[in-house]
Each structure stands twice: as C-alpha cells, then as structure tokens.
C-alpha cells in the first residue's frame, strides 16, 4: 500500500473513532434526559400536600354555563392530598389536582404529609371517655362537648387519604396521654358546638319529673347530631331487603336443615341468632367473661357450642346465601350486675335492688360497656355480618324511684346521652372488623318522641348506628294508639302508620341508617297477618323485616312461614 493510501486509511479510522464517540455521547445524553425528566419536572412543578382544618378543602371554581352565564361549582380536596404546584404566588398559588387547575391559599400547601396533619387542638361534639389504647380500653378521664383538648401526636397511618379524615388523635389531659377517635371531634369549638339538631322534634313530657329544661338538655344539648357517613363494606355488602327470622342458637344447631331450607321456600334471606340472652347468659364458649367476672362459668351455663363451632355454623349459612346477624342482649344482665356490684343499680344504702325481676348493671357503667363490646368484637371476628344490640336501655319505672336509687351516674349524663355514648363506642370498636352495628328500639318512644325514661331517644340512636330495628308489635299498642282503634286488628295500617312516624324522625336528622323493623309472627297472628305487616312496611317506602316468634322453633314458624314473603319493592 503506498503512502497516500495509508494516510487515507488512517483518516478513515480516526473519523470512525470520532463518529463512534459522538454516537456514544448522543446515547448518553438521551438516556440522561429520559432519567432526569421526572426530576426536572419535579423541580419545575414540585409536589405539595393539602393542609386544612376540616377533612376536606373546598375550592370554588367559576365557569361559563349556558348562555354565557357565570356558574360556580365546588371541588373537595381531602386533607393530605398530593398536588402539583404550577405557579407560586405571594398569597395564593395555582395547583393541579386530578388534572384540574385550581387556585388555593398558600396556607393550605405544605411540603410533606406529616405537616398536612398537624392539628394543635380538637373539640368533642359530645362527652367522650378518653381511651387508654385504640383497642377500646376506656379511661375514667372524660372530655366534654366543646372542650379544648391538646393534641400531642397524629400518625400518617391514621389518615384516610380518600376522605381526609383522621381516625385517631393522641391527646393529653392532666399530664397523661390518651387516644380519641377523630370521628367525634372538630378542629374548632364553633364546629363542635354547632346546632345540628335544629329540625328535631321532641316531647317535654319528662320535664314534669326532672325539672324544666330537662328534655332539651337530655335530647338535644348532650347529643351529637352531626350527620355521619354511611358504613359500607365491600367485603360485607348490606341490602335494604334483608328479611330475617330470630332463632336461638340451640335451635339453629339442632334443626339446621330446616333453617337452611327457608331461603328456598320463603323470602327469608337472613338468620338472627341469639348469642347473648336475657339475664346475661352466653350461648357459646366465650373467653370474655374471664376478664370481667369473678365467676365466669355462670355466664356460660347455657353455652351450646364452642367458638369454632359457631364460626363454622355462621360460614355454612353464609355459603348458602344467608346474611347472618348476632343478637346480643346488652344491659338486661343479672349475672354481670351481681358480680360487679359497683357497676350495678343499687338503692341509696348500696343494696342490690330488683327492677322488673332483674338486677341491672348501670348503663352509665363503662365497665359494662367494655364487657358487652368485647363480646361483640369476639363474635365479629367469627365472620358475622351484623351485631344487633337488644335491651340497650335503662329498666322501666326508675322515674318513680329516682330518689331511692343510685344509678351510678358518674358524669352527670342524661339517659339518652349514655345510650348514644354506648353505641358510639360500640361502633368505633366493631367497625374495623367490617361488621355492621344495629340497635333494637322500643316502639313507644318513637310514637311519643321522647325516651320514655329508658334512654332510647330514636334520633340520637339513629344518628350513630348502621341499622335501626324498632319493635312495633301490634299487641303492645293500646287501643287508639296512633289514631287506630285496634292496632292488632289492622296490621298493615299499624305498620304503615308507625313506619311513617319513624321515617319522619329519621329525615329530621338525615341519617344514613337502614330501617329494618321487627314484626310479630306469634299468636294471634297467622301467615296473612304477617304478610299484611310486610305490605304496611312497603307502603311506607321501606324494605326488610325481622320475624319475632320467641326462639324461632320450627313447629311455630311452619304455621306462619307462608307469610315470610320477599320485601323487595318492585319498581
């Protein structure tokens, strides 16, 4: 090869090397751009978090409506939401949230999630016992409506990013730390003491017994009426047309085949099993009495199965299509009362006293609250769909004995406030298991619109629980009640009239609770009467019912089961 060609070849090699180097650099640049674009974008449009005193920040957006008229709509941004900062202003900034450009005050933008949930004080909407732990152990320390409570810690895991709600606050009072559920507090005193009860109607009948102004204080001032969001669980769906029959656990165990057949032969799609009965008897081998009773075996003398057997039975019926409800008699509990005298209703000398042939724990007793809720939490973990509290009330007739009784009213609560307080606590503790909370309610307090001195003021209960279950058995109404000459003679009219009264009171508070009423199937009613009751409920616009015929013996139910029709309202 001559020198000229050698030089040309050398130039080609150098050119190739330069080209290869340039190509490599180009690839590096492209790769760097790909990797760094998000970082560059983050620098240009950094992330911020929404901070606000309420659960959501309401941002008003203007737009042009039809005919070029100006319109406005509100965008709700949950506390703690991550947003993109587009333009930082002196007082306000432009952000992007869910692909929408919005303007917010700079006070509502923080650099990290922890800063978004820093709340200095909370204010309860009603009297609450502070909790020793989130699992439900109540302290004797209370905070009252509108009281300023110091917050010492809020954890990010206690923030619901979808709703902006803070479930738990760690607070401090008298030098000690406690927990309080965020569902019952506000971040301003004005919000905590706002009048949520302005549309509520109530009778002042009991002012004659307890003094002028008693009823307003008992049914309004001490009660939390802020509308609560509905509990709905994807893994435990609930329907309005749940048609249930009450059955003792013994009957369910011994006649399982019969009860499994009801879903095929009738409109029944649910079984209500009695897990805790009158007097305090538990019908399965619960572990809870060991923590609260000196003689736990007394509460278990009526047990018919182990916890595992109960769990298996619940699942067997659910697999067959049934919605399963556990009925628990709450405060009609002589066993607990006799073994916890300091928690029981006694006379002024401290002696036990029988009321309605029973010893009663005080409904003011927080130990009695924890005992019953712990039982229901145990049942909830067996896969039940719903817990139904029965006899969640004070005993009858205590007004006439008020000067002779020690009701253990430690915190000076009204009876209605104590009952609502119990249901508030019960729902807080049971809802994490995705199990619904239901309340049985006497019918007459609903008709006369007071608590009949047993603490069951219907709007106060309906504003807390998931399901309300009144008991308008027609034979309990006197002649002329609700302007009906003989309520038992016209079951359709009676159930319709009663249900419309209940509906009006539920509408006054805007409750999300489901209405599912008890109906009688016992004598003198036959299948046609039962069917008439269901038609009356439907006429009032409701679906669903609960059949009461004692222990639900198969021989009793067979005589009326043709009346157990589907309650679904056909559109």
Looking at the fold, whether 424 and 359 belong to one and the same domain comes out as yes
CA distance 389 to 327: 6
CA distance 291 to 542: 41
Looking at the fold, whether 131 and 278 belong to one and the same domain comes out as no
Residues 6+ apart with CB under 8 A from 469: 388, 438, 439, 440, 441, 516, 517, 518, 546
Give the range of the structural domain holding residue 57, as residue numbers without chain letter.
Answer: 47-116
Token representation of residue 532: 């008439």
Whether residue 551 lies inside any domain: the answer is: yes
CA distance 236 to 18: 69
Note the pLDDT tens digit of each residue in 354-413. Answer: 998 899 999 999 999 999 999 999 999 999 999 999 999 999 989 888 889 999 999 999
Per-residue model confidence (pLDDT) at position 22:
54
Residues 6+ apart with CB under 8 A from 161: 78, 80, 81
The verdict on whether omega for the bond into residue 524 sits within 30 degrees of 0, i.e. cis, is yes
Nearest to 401 by CA among 444, 437, 348, 476: 348
Per-residue model confidence (pLDDT) at position 42:
46
Residues 6+ apart with CB under 8 A from 338: 344, 352, 359
CA distance 321 to 267: 12
Q: Is 471 helix (H, G, I), strand (E, B) or coil?
A: strand
Looking at the fold, whether 157 and 296 belong to one and the same domain comes out as no
CA atoms within 13 A on the CB side of 201: 13
**Partners of residue 101 on adjacent β-strands:** 96
- Alpha carbon separation from 164 to 54, 117, 160, 208, 424 (Å, rounded): 8, 9, 5, 45, 21
Looking at the fold, whether 378 and 402 belong to one and the same domain comes out as yes
CA atoms within 13 A on the CB side of 112: 4
Residues 6+ apart with CB under 8 A from 221: 145
Looking at the fold, whether 131 and 253 belong to one and the same domain comes out as no
CA distance 167 to 123: 14
Q: In sequence order, which ranges of 132-245 are alpha helices (DSSP H)? A: 189-192, 207-210, 214-216
Whether residue 407 lies inside any domain: the answer is: yes
Q: Is 429:138 a contact under the CB 8 Å cutoff?
A: no
Looking at the fold, whether 108 and 161 belong to one and the same domain comes out as no
Note the pLDDT tens digit of each residue in 115-164. Answer: 999 999 999 999 999 999 999 999 999 999 999 999 999 999 999 999 99
CA distance 154 to 57: 19
Per-residue model confidence (pLDDT) at position 402:
85
Percent of the chain with pLDDT over 90: 86
CATH code for position 92: 2.30.30
Whether residue 26 lies inside any domain: the answer is: no
Looking at the fold, whether 515 and 375 belong to one and the same domain comes out as yes
CA distance 387 to 383: 11
Looking at the fold, whether 103 and 154 belong to one and the same domain comes out as no
**What 3 state SS string does 440-463 have?**
EEEHHHHHHCCCCCCCCCHHHHHC
Per-residue model confidence (pLDDT) at position 26:
53
Q: Which of 116, 137, 172 is the last residue of a domain?
A: 116
CATH code for position 296: 3.20.20.80
Note the pLDDT tens digit of each residue in 237-253. Answer: 999 999 999 999 999 99
Token representation of residue 461: 């209960």
Q: Is 149 helix (H, G, I), strand (E, B) or coil?
A: strand
Token representation of residue 388: 């139904």
Looking at the fold, whether 298 and 437 belong to one and the same domain comes out as yes
Per-residue model confidence (pLDDT) at position 347:
94
Q: Which of 82, 116, 150 is the last residue of a domain?
A: 116
Torsion, Cα of 346, 347, 351, 352 (10° steps): -40
Whether residue 547 lies inside any domain: the answer is: yes
CA distance 541 to 536: 9
Q: Which of 165, 192, 219 is the last residue of a domain?
A: 192
Per-residue model confidence (pLDDT) at position 403:
86
Looking at the fold, whether 74 and 173 belong to one and the same domain comes out as no
CATH code for position 164: 2.30.30.40
Domain count for the chain, please give it: 3
| Residue 304: exposure state from Cβ atoms within 10 A (0-12, 13-18, ≥19) | middle
Looking at the fold, whether 110 and 131 belong to one and the same domain comes out as no
Q: Is 110 helix (H, G, I), strand (E, B) or coil?
A: strand
Whether residue 202 lies inside any domain: the answer is: no
Q: Is 444:452 a contact under the CB 8 Å cutoff?
A: yes
CA distance 402 to 355: 12
Low-confidence ranges of the chain (pLDDT < 50): 12, 16, 27, 29, 37-38, 40-42
Whether residue 390 lies inside any domain: the answer is: yes
CA distance 452 to 65: 53
Whether residue 235 lies inside any domain: the answer is: no
pTM value is 0.90
Q: Apex CA 457: angle with CA 455 and CA 462, to 5°?
A: 125
Looking at the fold, whether 133 and 108 belong to one and the same domain comes out as no
Torsion, Cα of 227, 233, 236, 241 (10° steps): 40
Whether residue 470 lies inside any domain: the answer is: yes
The alpha carbon dihedral of 413, 416, 420, 425 has a sign of positive
Nearest to 364 by CA among 328, 408, 428, 425: 408
């Amino acid at each position: 090869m001559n020198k000229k060609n050698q030089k040309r070849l050398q130039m080609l090699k150098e050119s190739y090397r330069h080209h290869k180097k340039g190509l490599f650099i180009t690839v590096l640049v492209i790769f760097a751009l790909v990797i760094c674009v998000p970082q560059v974008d983050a620098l240009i449009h950094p992330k911020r978090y929404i901070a606000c005193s309420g659960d959501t920040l309401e941002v008003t957006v203007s737009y042009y409506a039809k005919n070029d008229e100006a319109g406005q709509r509100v965008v709700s941004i949950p506390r703690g939401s991550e947003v993109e900062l587009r333009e930082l202003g002196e007082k306000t900034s432009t952000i992007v949230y869910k692909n929408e450009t919005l303007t917010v005050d700079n006070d509502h933008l923080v650099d990290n999630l922890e800063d978004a949930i820093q709340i200095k004080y909370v204010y309860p909407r009603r009297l609450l016992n502070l909790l020793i732990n989130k699992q439900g152990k109540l302290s004797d320390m209370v905070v009252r409506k509108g009281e300023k409570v110091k917050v010492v810690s809020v954890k990010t895991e206690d923030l619901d990013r979808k709703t902006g709600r803070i479930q738990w606050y760690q607070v401090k009072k008298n030098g000690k730390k406690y927990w309080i559920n965020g569902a019952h507090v506000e971040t301003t005193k004005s919000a905590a003491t706002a009048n949520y009860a302005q549309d509520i109607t109530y009778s002042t009948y009991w002012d004659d017994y307890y003094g002028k102004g008693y009823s307003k204080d008992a049914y309004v001032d001490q009660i939390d009426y802020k509308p609560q969001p509905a509990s709905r669980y994807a893994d435990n769906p609930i329907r309005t047309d749940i048609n249930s029959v009450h059955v003792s656990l013994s009957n369910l165990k011994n006649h399982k085949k019969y009860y499994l057949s009801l879903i095929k032969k009738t409109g029944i799609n649910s079984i209500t099993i009695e897990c805790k009965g009158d007097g305090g008897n538990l019908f399965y081998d619960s572990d809870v009495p060991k923590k609260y009773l000196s003689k736990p075996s007394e509460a278990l003398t009526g047990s018919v199965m182990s916890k595992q057997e109960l769990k298996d039975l619940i699942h067997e019926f659910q697999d067959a299509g049934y919605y399963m409800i556990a009925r628990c008699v709450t405060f009609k509990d002589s066993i607990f009362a006799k073994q916890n005298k300091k928690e029981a209703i006694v006379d002024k000398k401290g002696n036990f006293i029988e009321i309605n042939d029973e010893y009663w724990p005080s409904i003011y007793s927080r130990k009695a609250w924890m005992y019953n809720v712990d039982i229901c939490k145990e049942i909830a973990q067996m896969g039940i769909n719903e817990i139904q509290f029965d006899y969640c009330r004070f005993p009858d007739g205590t007004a006439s004995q008020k000067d002779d009784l020690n009701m253990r009213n430690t915190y000076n609560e009204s009876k209605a406030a104590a009952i609502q307080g119990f249901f508030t606590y019960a729902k807080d503790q049971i809802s994490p298991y995705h199990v619904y909370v239901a309340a049985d309610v006497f019918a007459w307090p609903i008709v006369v619109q007071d608590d009949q001195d047993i603490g069951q003021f219907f709007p106060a209960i309906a504003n807390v629980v998931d399901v309300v279950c009144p008991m308008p058995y027609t034979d309990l109404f006197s002649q002329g009640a609700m302007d009906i000459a003989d309520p038992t003679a016209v079951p359709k009219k009676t159930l319709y009239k009663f249900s419309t009264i209940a509906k009006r009171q539920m509408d006054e508070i805007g409750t999300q609770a489901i209405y599912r009423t008890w109906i009688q199937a016992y004598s003198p009613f036959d299948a046609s009467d039962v069917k008439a009751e269901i038609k009356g409920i439907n006429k009032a616009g409701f679906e669903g019912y609960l059949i009461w015929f004692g222990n639900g013996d198969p021989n009793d139910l067979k005589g009326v089961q043709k009346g157990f029709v589907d309650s679904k309202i056909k559109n």
